[in-house]
Amino acid sequence: MGAARPRPRLRFADLLDETLAGVFARPARAALTTLGTVLGIASLVATLGISRTAGGQIVGRFDELAATQVTVSARTAGSGSSSRAAATLPWDVELRLDRLNGVVASGAVAEASNPGSLRTVPLIDPQNVTERLVPVFAGSVGLLDAVRGRIATGRWFDAGHVERRDRVAVIGADVADQFGIDRLDRQPGVFIGDEIFTVIGILDAAPRDTGLVQSVIVPFTAGQDRLGITRPDRVVVETVIGAARLVAEQAPVALNPNAAEGLKVTAPRDPARTKDAVQDDVNQLFLLLGLISLVVGAIGIANVTLVTVMERTGEIGLRRALGASRRHIALQFLAESTAMGLVGGIIGATVGIITIVGVAGSREWTPVLDLWLPLAAPFAGAVVGLVAGLYPSVRAARMEPVDALRAGT
Amino acid sequence: MSVVADPDLGEEPREPAGVVPVVVLDDVWRVFPTDPPVEALRAVHLRVDPGEYVAIIGPSGSGKSTLLNVLGLLDRPTGGTYQLDGIDTAALGDRARAAERGRRIGFVFQSFHLLSYRSVEENVMLSELYLGTSRRDRRCRAVEALERVGLGHRLGFSPIRLSGGERQRVAIARALLGEPSLLLCDEPTGNLDSANTAAVLDLFDDLRAQGLTILVITHDTEVAARAQRRVRMVDGQLAEVA
C-alpha cells in the first residue's frame, strides 16, 4: 500500500458494474429513453434492408427474363394506311444470329392477318366448341427456344417440316383445352379457314410471349403457302446474361445489312440504373425519417442523462469524496449513455430486421440483408449514446465535490 | 488494525518521537472571493495525532464545514499549509488529491449519502472502488466492516429499508473500508433520534478504542462531550476548549 502511486484507479469490470447498476436503477426510464434510438435505428435498418430487398427483387426479375431478351422489329415509315415497313426481316434468323457471341437462341414470328376461324374435323360433341377465332402465327424453328417455350405433348416443328413445307401446326395449351385435343397419337387435324393442318405438338408455356399459348403456330413456309404470310413481324432473341446490349447493337446488321437502320431494337434498360432509380425512390424519405428519429433519440438520451446527473448530484459528491477523479465521473455517465444507445441500437436492429422479413414475406420477396447492417446498427446506437452523453458527463465532471455534497442528499 | 500512519510512506518523520501526526494545519486561511470577501477560516492552527478523538464545536456559520472540506481535501485553503499523514497537500494535483482522499480519509455525512439503488453491501464496497482493489477482496472487507458496526445481517438489504441509525452505521462501515487515517464526521447524529445517536456514539468509542483517529464536527454538546478533546470554532478561528 505504501508504494502505491497517488493515482485513483477504476477497473474496467467495475466501471461496467457501476454502469449497469446506474442504468438499471431506473429501468422504466432507461427503457423509455432508449425508445428514440430504437425507433431511429429500426427505421434506418428497415429502410436500407427493404430497399435492398426490393432492388434485388426487381433486378432478379430482369435477370429472369427481360435482361436476356432482345426483340427486333421493322420500323414503319409513313403514317396511317400508307405506312409500310422501312426494312424487311428475313426468316433465316437462326442462321444469321446464332453465330453472334452471346446469343442463346433466336426465332422469327409473324401473325397471320386474316386466318379465318379455327375448327376441328366435324364431330358432334356438345361439350366442346367446334369453331372459334384464334390468332395464328407463323414461326421459325428457333422460336420455341427464343421464347423459352415448353412443349407438353408431341413436338415442335423442325427444319425438315420447314423445308418440305409441311402443313403441320403446334397449338397452344389453351386452344387445345377449348377444342378438346389432349392426345396426338391419332394425328388430329385442325382447319384454319379452309386449310387443314396436322397438330404435332401442344405448347404448354412461353414465358417471353404468353400470347402464343392462346394461339396456333405453323412453320413459316406453310404460312407463306396457305395463310398469306410474307415477312416476319419481329425477331425474338435470347441472350446470355449481360450480352443483351451487345446483341442489340449487332442484331440489326446481321438481320438486314442493307437497311439495318430501318429496324427497331428493344433491349433491356441498364440493370444498374434501374436499381439505383428504385432505391432512390424508396430510400430518401425513410432515410431522412430514420435520421430525424435518431437525432430525436440522441436529444432524448442527452436530456434524460442531464436530468439524471442533476438528480445524482449527491452521488457525484460522494464518489468524489470516495476518491473518484473528475474523469471517473465523466466516464461513468458517458458509459451509461453509451450503454443506453447500444441497447437501443441492438433492439432497433432487431426490430428493423423483423420488419424487413415481415415486408418481404408479405410481398413474397426474398429478404436481402447486407451483413454489415446488423453489425453497424448497434455501433451507430452506441455512437449516438456517446455523443448524447458528452455534455451531461462534462457537467457532472465539472461539479465541485463540496457543492455536490451540499446540494444532494 | 493499526491506523497509525504507515511507516513505509517514505516521508521523513517530523517529530523526534517518530510519530507522524495525522493532521497538521499551520496558519490556514480560506477566503471566499465574494464582495466583500468572506474569511471562513482565519489563521487556523490544528494538530491531530494518531488515535485522537476530536470534536469541533461552534455555532452555524462559524466555518466548521469549511474546515471539514479543507481537512477532507475537498477544498483548497487560500493560505497556509496542510499536512495529511506528513504529506504537504498543497503540492498535490487534482487527481492525486482524489487518490489521497480515497485512501486516507473516511467521510461520514449528516445525510448518510447512501445510494438507494444499491444494496447495503454494495454501498460499502463503493468505498474502495477507486482504489483499484479486486472485487472479491472488497466484498470480504465490506462484510467485515459491516460486522464491525453490527450490521452483518443486513448485507443484501436496500438502504431504504433501514432505520436512520442503521443507515448511519452503514455509512460508517463504508468510511472504515480501506483503513483510512482519519474518520471525518460532519454532524453524524444530526438526523438521528437520541437512541440511535447513543448507538452511533458508542460505535465511535469502540473505534477510538481500536486506535482510529476520529474528527467530529457537531453543534450538539452531548456528542462533543464524548470526545477526548474539544475545539471551538468562532468566526473562522479555532480555540481549544479546556
Q: pLDDT (tens digit, 9 = 90+) per residue, A241-265?
A: 878 888 888 888 888 888 888 888 8
SS3 A183: coil
**A293 min Cα distance to partner chain B (Å):** 31
Beta-carbon contacts of residue A325 (< 8 Å; ≥ 6 apart): A8, B94, B95, B98, B99, B130
Average pLDDT over residues B126-154: 90
Q: Which candidate, A299, A316, A368, places its Cα nearest to that of A46? A: A368
- What grid cell was written down for A45? 435498418
Q: Which residues in B lie closer than 8 A to residue A17 (C-beta atoms)? A: 135
pLDDT at A396 exceeding the cut of 90: yes
pLDDT at A200 exceeding the cut of 50: yes
Nearest Cβ partner of A322 from B102, B111, B122? B102
Q: Are A214 and A178 in contact (CB under 8 A)?
A: no
Q: What residues in chain A have their Cβ under 8 A from chain B's Cβ atoms?
A: 1-11, 13-14, 17-18, 21-22, 25-26, 314-315, 317-326, 328, 401-402, 405, 408-409
Give the pLDDT confidence score for residue A6 in this predicted structure.
63
Q: Which residues in B lie closer than 8 A to residue A324 (C-beta atoms)? A: 98, 102, 129-130
Which chain B residue is nearest to residue A3, measuring alpha carbons? B9
**Residue B77 preceded by cis peptide, ω within 30:** no
Give the pLDDT confidence score for residue B214 in this predicted structure.
95
Helix axes A12-24, B135-148, angle to 10 degrees: 60
Q: Are B49 and B19 in contact (CB under 8 A)?
A: yes
Q: Which residues in A lie closer than 8 A to residue B6 (C-beta atoms)? A: 1-2
Percentage, residues of chain A above pLDDT 90: 33
Average pLDDT over residues A100-104: 88
Q: Is B132 on the interface with A (CB under 8 A)?
A: yes
The position carrying cell 394425328 is: A187
Q: Which residues in B lie closer than 8 A to residue A10 (C-beta atoms)? A: 129-130, 132
Strands A103-111 and A234-239: antiparallel
Q: Is B4 on the interface with A (CB under 8 A)?
A: no
Give the pLDDT confidence score for residue B5 in this predicted structure.
44
Which chain A residue is nearest to residue B133, measuring alpha carbons? A11
Query: Cβ contact (<8 Å) for A21 and B122?
Result: yes
Q: Are B120 and B168 in contact (CB under 8 A)?
A: no
Instruction: Give the whole-angstrom CA distance, residue A80 versus residue B149.
Output: 109
The per-residue pLDDT for range B150-183, each reduced to its tens digit, is 899 999 999 999 998 899 999 999 999 988 999 9
The per-residue pLDDT for range A316-328, each reduced to its tens digit, is 999 999 999 999 9
Instruction: Give the whole-angstrom CA distance, residue B229 versus residue B224.
Output: 8
Quote ipTM for the complex: 0.89
Report DSSP letters for A287-339, one per residue. HHHHHHHHHHHHHHHHHHHHHHHHHTHHHHHHHHHTT--HHHHHHHHHHHHHH
Instruction: Give the whole-angstrom CA distance, residue A374 versus residue A52.
Output: 14
Give the pLDDT confidence score for residue A326 in this predicted structure.
93
Give the pLDDT confidence score for residue A58 in this predicted structure.
62
Beta-carbon contacts of residue A355 (< 8 Å; ≥ 6 apart): A42, A45, A46, A49, A50
Percentage, residues of chain A above pLDDT 70: 87
Domains of chain B: 51-74+99-241 (3.40.50.300)
Q: How far apart are the first and last CA of chain A?
A: 32
Cα–Cα distance list, B6 to B91, B129, B174 (Å): 20, 21, 21
- What grid cell was written down for A113? 392477318
Which chain A residue is nearest to residue B135, measuring alpha carbons? A14
Q: Are A352 and A377 in contact (CB under 8 A)?
A: yes
Query: Cβ contact (<8 Å) for A409 and B103?
Result: no
Query: Cβ contact (<8 Å) for A7 and B96?
Result: yes
Instruction: Give the whole-angstrom CA distance, residue B171 versus residue B177.
Output: 10
Nearest Cβ partner of B102 from A14, A22, A323? A323
The per-residue pLDDT for range B206-239, each reduced to its tens digit, is 999 999 999 999 988 888 999 999 999 999 999 8
The per-residue pLDDT for range A15-66, each reduced to its tens digit, is 999 999 988 888 998 999 898 899 989 988 888 888 778 776 665 555 556 7
Beta-carbon contacts of residue A292 (< 8 Å; ≥ 6 apart): A40
Please state the φ and ψ torsions of residue A248, each to the nearest 5 degrees: -60, -30
What is the number of CB-based contacts under 8 A between chain A and chain B? 105
Strands B182-186 and A195-205: unpaired
Helix axes B164-176, B135-148, angle to 10 degrees: 130
Q: Is B64 on the interface with A (CB under 8 A)?
A: no
Instruction: Give the whole-angstrom CA distance, residue A318 versus residue A350.
Output: 39
pLDDT at B6 exceeding the cut of 70: no
Residues making up chain B, counted from first to last: 242
Sheet holding B79-84, edge to edge: B38-48, B23-32, B79-84, B87-88
The per-residue pLDDT for range A260-288, each reduced to its tens digit, is 888 888 877 665 555 555 556 666 777 88
Average pLDDT over residues A294-310: 90
Instruction: Give the whole-angstrom CA distance, residue A262 versus residue A139.
Output: 22
Give the pLDDT confidence score for residue A102 in this predicted structure.
87
Q: Which of A322, A332, A402, A403 to mutate to test the interface with B (most CBs of B within 10 A)?
A: A322
Average pLDDT over residues B67-79: 93
Beta-carbon contacts of residue B7 (< 8 Å; ≥ 6 apart): none
- Annotate B64-81 with three-state secondary structure: HHHHHHHHCCCCCCCEEE
Nearest Cβ partner of A324 from B6, B98, B113? B98
Average pLDDT over residues A223-239: 88
Torsion of Cα atoms, A50 then A56 then A61 then A64, to 10°: -150
Strands A76-77 and A84-85: antiparallel
Q: Are A176 and A202 in contact (CB under 8 A)?
A: yes
Query: Cβ contact (<8 Å) for B74 and A321?
Result: yes
Helices (H), A154-264: 159-163, 173-179, 220-226, 244-255
What are the beta bridge partners of residue A190?
A: A120, A197
Report DSSP letters for B81-128, one per residue. EEEETTEEGGG--HHHHHHHHHHHEEEE-TT----TTS-HHHHHHGGG
Query: Cβ contact (<8 Å) for A2 and B117?
Result: no
Instruction: Give the whole-angstrom CA distance, residue B98 versus residue A325.
Output: 6
- What grid cell was written down for A317? 459528491
Query: Cβ contact (<8 Å) for B126 and A326?
Result: no
Calculate the average pLDDT of chain A.
85
Instruction: Give the whole-angstrom CA distance, residue B191 versus residue B223.
Output: 13
Beta-carbon contacts of residue A229 (< 8 Å; ≥ 6 apart): A110, A112, A138, A220, A223
Q: Which residues in B lie closer than 8 A to residue A404 (C-beta atoms)? A: none
Other beta carbons within 10 Å of A261:
12
pLDDT at A75 exceeding the cut of 90: no
Give the pLDDT confidence score for residue A322 in this predicted structure.
92
The per-residue pLDDT for range B51-61, each reduced to its tens digit, is 999 999 988 88
Please state the φ and ψ torsions of residue A280, each to the nearest 5 degrees: -55, -45
Query: Cβ contact (<8 Å) for A323 and B130?
Result: yes
* Segment A264-271 long-range contacts (CB within 8 Å, at least 24 positions apart): A264/A72, A264/A73, A264/A74, A264/A75, A265/A70, A265/A71, A265/A72, A266/A70, A266/A71, A266/A72, A266/A73, A267/A69, A267/A70, A268/A62, A268/A66, A268/A67, A268/A68, A268/A69, A268/A244, A270/A245, A271/A59, A271/A62, A271/A63, A271/A67
Q: Which residues in B lie closer than 8 A to residue A409 (C-beta atoms)? A: 111, 113
The per-residue pLDDT for range B89-105, each reduced to its tens digit, is 998 998 999 999 999 99
Which chain B residue is nearest to residue A322, measuring alpha carbons? B102
Range 9-38 of B in CB contact (< 8 A) with A: 9-10
pLDDT tier for residue B190 given thresholds of 50, 70 and 90: confident
pLDDT at A83 exceeding the cut of 50: yes
